[in-house]
Amino acid sequence: MADAEPGVVPAVEATADDIATMEIRGAATIADAAAAALATQADRSGAESPAAFRRHLRAAARTLYETRPTAVSLPNALRYVLRGMDGETVADLRASTIARAETFRRDLERAQETLGEIGANRLRDGDVVMTHCHSTDALACIDVALESGKAIEAIVKETRPRKQGHITARQLREWGVPVTVIVDNAARRYLDRVDHVLVGADSIAADGSVINKVGTSGLAVNARERGVPVMVAAQTIKLHPDTMTGHTVEIELRDEREVLSDEERATIIGKGDEDESAAEDDGLTVDNPAFDVTPARYVDAIVTERGQFPPESIVTLMRELFGETTDEPWTV
Ligand SMILES: O=C(COP(=O)(O)O)[C@H](O)[C@H](O)COP(=O)(O)O
């Protein structure tokens, strides 16, 4: 993690660490934690002047922003909270920032509930859903469907290398949903039994493409081939405003040891891991992209709290919500 920025309170550093190490993960949860961290920064700031208070808040936002690059909910949350920082005194700035963060967190929760109600309408009694990774937005749709008395079954992809599918399986079992866990490579074989592929999103681009956990795009292509509709559950906080002006979404590359441990690497290259020469270039590369891009044509519906959209029309909603401004969160 980068050196602490002056004025940033330790609790913000701790949240940033938790996001970077994925103790806190998933786009909505990251956004919520980031807003809460800015409220804590405001609450505990030792700034004695309004200028210092603003500077420290922006530094806190930068610290949080630099943790993970792909989920746009993070900069969207930071920008929203910083825009509400208003007042001529430290006390006023503190109060307005905290209030704004609370509003954000409340709206985020409500948006997920509303999205769940909309998404649940697509699910029929007896449907089988295939999930990838762990998405609270996707689970919200299943939650509402269950509450309204529909029986839902789930085929849960394990989701290598971090196995977030286990979190999904645990939640679904808590709700009493029959769950079949499969390795990612088995997904195509099971699509014959599936009524919907249901995933979340870290970012949605202006052309309707969906950036989500790596493996989503392959799943969507296979689902299309099998005639299974792909539903993306994503609050509008996942809409990526920069993509309206031609920017692409950065795909996070994570540590190769999530894929191959040092011991496994040593076994592959035929050297002991204590062997000093193992540190040299051994010709073995491991790539670990955390996300991928699913083109709009493989997505049937994007379900947001503002309604359900065909992916190609999502840009209309994006313009309405974000205008054309795409500044860094701390330049607001
Ligand atoms: O790809 C992931 C999580 O990736 P990671 O585990 O690497 O953070 C989730 O599908 C989205 O973030 C949506 O989640 P939610 O619907 O909860 O926002």
Amino acid 5: pLDDT:
79
Can you give the pLDDT at residue 273?
A: 52
Give the position, in ligand 1's atom list, of the atom nearest the Cα of 25: 8
- Provide φ and ψ at 326, rounded to 5°: -140, 45
Q: How much distance in Å is there from the Cα of 107 to the middle of ligand 1?
A: 19
| Mean pLDDT, the chain, integer | 95
Question: Candidates 115, 134, 162, 305: which one to mutate for ligand 1, based on the most atoms within 8 Å of Cβ?
Answer: 134
Cα gap 169→32, rounded to integer Å: 23
Give the closest residue (by CA) to ligand 1 atom 15. 135
Q: Which fold has domain 117-245+289-331?
A: Rossmann fold (3.40.50)
Residue 314 scores a pLDDT above 80: yes
Residues with CB under 6 A from ligand 1: 25-29, 71, 133, 135-138, 164, 200-202, 212-213, 290
Write down the pLDDT at residue 2.
Answer: 52
From the CA of 22, give the closest atom in ligand 1. Answer: 8
Task: State pTM to two decimals.
Answer: 0.95
Select from 1.20.120.420, 1.20.140.10, 3.40.50.620, 3.20.20.70 the CATH code of 10-114.
Answer: 1.20.120.420
Cα 105 from Cα 302, distance rounded (Å): 22
Cα–ligand 1 centroid distance for 54 (angstroms): 30
**Residue 136 Cα: closest atom of ligand 1:** 17
Give the span between the Cα atoms of 11 and 17, in whole angstroms.
10
- Look at residue 277 in the predicted model and tell me its pLDDT: 53
Which residue's CA lies nearest to atom 4 of ligand 1? 26
Tell me the pLDDT tens digit for each residue of 21-76.
999 999 999 999 999 999 999 999 999 999 999 999 999 999 999 999 999 999 99
Q: Which two three-digit tokens encode residue 231?
A: 């539903």
Close Cβ partners of 112 (under 8 Å, ≥ 6 residues apart): 28, 136, 137, 140, 235, 305
Q: How much is the pLDDT for 281?
A: 82
Cα distances from 322 to residues 79, 81, 310, 313, in angstroms, run 11, 14, 19, 15
Q: Using the predicted structure, report yes or no on whether residue 301 has a pLDDT greater than 80.
A: yes
Tokens for 85? 């920082």
DSSP state of 272: -
Position 330 pLDDT exceeds 90: no
Percent of the chain having pLDDT more than 90?
91
Q: Beta strand 291-294 with 210-213: parallel, antiparallel or unpaired?
A: antiparallel
For ligand 1, mutation pick of 22, 212, 219, 299 (most atoms within 8 Å of CB)? 212
Q: Is the pLDDT of residue 272 over 70?
A: no
Q: Where are the domains of the chain?
A: 10-114, 117-245+289-331
Res. 1: pLDDT tops 70: no
Q: How many whole angstroms separate alpha carbon 27 and alpha carbon 167?
A: 15
- Ligand 1 centroid to 132 CA: how many Å? 9
- Buried b / exposed e across 64-101, counting CB within 10 Å, b at 16+? bbebbbbbbbbbbbbbbbbebbeeeebeebbebbbebb
Does the pLDDT at position 329 exceed 90? no
User: pLDDT by residue (tens digit) across 34-47?
Assistant: 999 999 999 999 99
Q: How confident is the model at residue 302 (pLDDT cuts 50, 70, 90)?
A: very high
Give the separation between CA 295 and CA 310, rounded to whole angstroms.
12
Q: Quick one: pLDDT at residue 247?
A: 94
CA of 188 to the centre of ligand 1 (A): 22
Read off the pLDDT of residues 190-232 as tens digits, 9 standing for 90 and up.
999 999 999 999 999 999 999 999 999 999 999 999 999 999 9
Going by the annotation, the residues of the binding site for substrate are 25-28, 68, 212-213, 238
Which ligand 1 atom minimizes the distance to the CA of 162?
Answer: 6
Measured in whole angstroms, how far is the alpha carbon of residue 267 from the centre of its chain?
34
Sheet architecture: strand order including 210-213 = 203-204, 210-213, 291-294
pLDDT value at 3 more than 80: no
Contact 33, 21 (CB under 8 A): no
User: What pLDDT does 271 receive?
Assistant: 73
Q: Select from 142, 213, 299, 304 the residue to mutate for testing ligand 1; criterion: most ligand atoms less than 8 Å from CB.
A: 213
Check residue 6 and give its pLDDT: 86
Averaged over 121-129, what is the pLDDT?
A: 98
Among 73-77, 303-307, 324-328, where is mean pLDDT lowest?
324-328
Q: Which of 72, 73, 93, 71 is nearest to 84 (CA)?
A: 93
CA 20 – ligand 1 centroid, Å: 14
pLDDT single digits (tens) 149-187: 999 999 999 999 999 999 999 999 999 999 999 999 999
Asked if 309 and 236 touch (Cβ cutoff 8 Å), the reply is: no
Span from the CA of 269 to the centroid of ligand 1 (angstroms): 33
* Main-chain phi, psi angles of 304, to 5 degrees: -120, 180
Cite the active site residues: 133, 202
Please report the pLDDT score of residue 321 as a whole number: 93
